[in-house]
Structure 1
């Protein structure tokens, strides 16, 4: 068992013919875990990655990569052109990972590759996710994002059912309930979101070039920033309580967010988006004061009150 900064890495059990991870010094285990993480979720690793991460010499990094290759020869191959070690199609992770920690590391960079369970310093309870993405699916898509590649996926949609698509993913998105990828969809010729748990059998298409119109810089909804003014709901008797909850100044919580994720945020926080704060219910503590800022935003169907009171 490897402990790094209070976080546990749990090596998978090995067959008798495999070299045991338990026989390796802890400091090297940490470096092996970093190699494993980068291969699994980024698709490549180089000596310089280890030098920067751990402050070791290139010779030590070379030994670590050789040790990893000895432990898992089917996981890694050297690309002489790129001068990097690449993941193989037969990759099987050397360490066990938890989806929540992987997503936290990928999205926030917290602890980099420290992605396994950690005991809290005080008792702590957090809401459970009803579903988590398959890590083998996630790893292919994160490699596509990291290396700016096209991926082929099988996708199940509520509106169009089961389809096979080619996508150009460029961002992971957490809407508070589930994870998406933001990508260009070649089937519909537009940028959109794909729910990770609806993706199956992804594979990279390294010989399919990304076209200029498929780049994230061409995604208008992604690059447009909307400035929202959130206030306490007008139907509340004690607005000052909500203003204190959210640290509002002069009764306003200003937010700058991407247009592509505006609907997710408004739904997650139950922000009443009707023109006069018409929604009733204990869940509505917030109201969008400047709803005109939403004009032209695409993903508003899920925002509370929009369907009964559209933005004109």
Structure 2
């Protein structure tokens, strides 16, 4: 066991990526061969075989050779080690590999037809992102010009950012705002001009972002206005455990998740045509904005 842990710590990025692919292909395609690895990474057969052997030494109960398939398949004891075992992860890899194949000559284009609908790219200047990343890493206080619906031309603010956040549609930065004296989310595309670091000392102590460190449960269930069979369909489609799905999430991110998953949280009534609802809406309301 100690040997395996040591091996894991010594993995190089390219090997780690190949081990991830081994799991994804075996799990989602049902047949893993050296050729699969050769096509995806443009490596030679000897290297591909070596990678599969290496993986099997690390995870001896995950794969078995099937003579009929002439390749490896997952066993009933399979447990993902280098992936999260989700379909989304596999499909995103195929999409990435498909794009890469037109630029990297050693990669064979993926044969699986796949198209992903992605949110539009937001226009954000690299210098803005560089400054925000630096401030987050170094816990710096910065001077920014930020536009909002109320002030579309922008206004000066001093903020102390700590985390970049994606809502699924656009990126924000979580930061303490000295003007409003609270932690807020600032949309990256609304920063204007240059960002400057403020080196003079604060005359007050920045409070802890307690809400950020507060985790809540979102209890999602099929809409009871549908029939029992329809509710079972929605539960299966969402991968619910039984007839319920509990999402543990940071409180400030709850609304973003509900919006992304099209789960109603305002003006809700039982006869609305949503497939799932938030069962504990009354408990969660205080964390929504």
The TM-score range, normalised by the shorter chain, is 0.5 to 0.7
- Is the CA contact (8 Å cut-off) linking 1:227 and 1:293 kept in structure 2? no
Greater helix fraction, Structure 1 or Structure 2: 2
CA distance in 2, matches of 1:144, 1:279: 47
Corresponding residue for 2:136? 145
Q: State yes or no: 1:168 paired with 2:146.
A: no
Shift of 1:148: 1.0
CA deviations on 1:27-69 (whole Å, 9 max, x unpaired) are xxxxxxxxxxxxxxxxxxxxxxxxxxxxxxxxxxxxxxxxxxx
CA distance in 2, matches of 1:185, 1:240: 45
Give the number of equivalent residue pairs: 183
CA distance in 1, matches of 2:166, 2:202: 24
SS of equivalent to 2:233: helix
For structure 1, the 5+ residue unaligned runs are 8-116, 302-312
For structure 2, the 5+ residue unaligned runs are 1-12, 18-98, 102-108
CA distance in 2, matches of 1:210, 1:246: 48
SS of equivalent to 1:221: coil
- Is the CA contact (8 Å cut-off) linking 1:230 and 1:286 kept in structure 2? yes
2:172 equivalent among 177, 180, 189: 180
Shift of 1:243: 0.7
1:203 equivalent among 192, 195, 199: 195
Shift of 1:140: 0.9
1:126 equivalent among 90, 93, 116: 116
1:292 equivalent among 278, 282, 285: 282
CA distance in 2, matches of 1:274, 1:155: 28
Distance 1:123-1:274 versus aligned 2 partners, 3 A rule: same
CA distance in 1, matches of 2:257, 2:199: 37
SS of equivalent to 2:174: strand
Q: State yes or no: 1:235 paired with 2:221.
A: no
Shift of 1:153: 1.3
SS of equivalent to 1:287: strand
Q: Name the TM-score, length of structure 1 as normaliser.
A: 0.52
RMSD: 2.7
- Is the CA contact (8 Å cut-off) linking 1:153 and 1:200 kept in structure 2? yes
Distance 1:278-1:143 versus aligned 2 partners, 3 A rule: same
Compare CA radii of gyration and give the structure with the larger one: 2
- Is the CA contact (8 Å cut-off) linking 1:168 and 1:210 kept in structure 2? no
Corresponding residue for 1:157? 148
- Is the CA contact (8 Å cut-off) linking 2:223 and 2:270 kept in structure 1? no
Summarize the alignment of residues 191-270 of structure 1 with structure 2, pairs less than 5 Å apart. 191-209=183-201, 213-214=205-206, 218-237=208-227, 238-270=230-262
Corresponding residue for 1:19? none
Shift of 1:143: 0.8
- Is the CA contact (8 Å cut-off) linking 1:234 and 1:277 kept in structure 2? no
Distance 1:274-1:267 versus aligned 2 partners, 3 A rule: same
CA distance in 1, matches of 2:126, 2:194: 11
CA distance in 2, matches of 1:210, 1:240: 56
CA distance in 2, matches of 1:206, 1:163: 17
Distance 1:212-1:243 versus aligned 2 partners, 3 A rule: farther
CA distance in 2, matches of 1:246, 1:212: 47
- Is the CA contact (8 Å cut-off) linking 1:174 and 1:180 kept in structure 2? yes
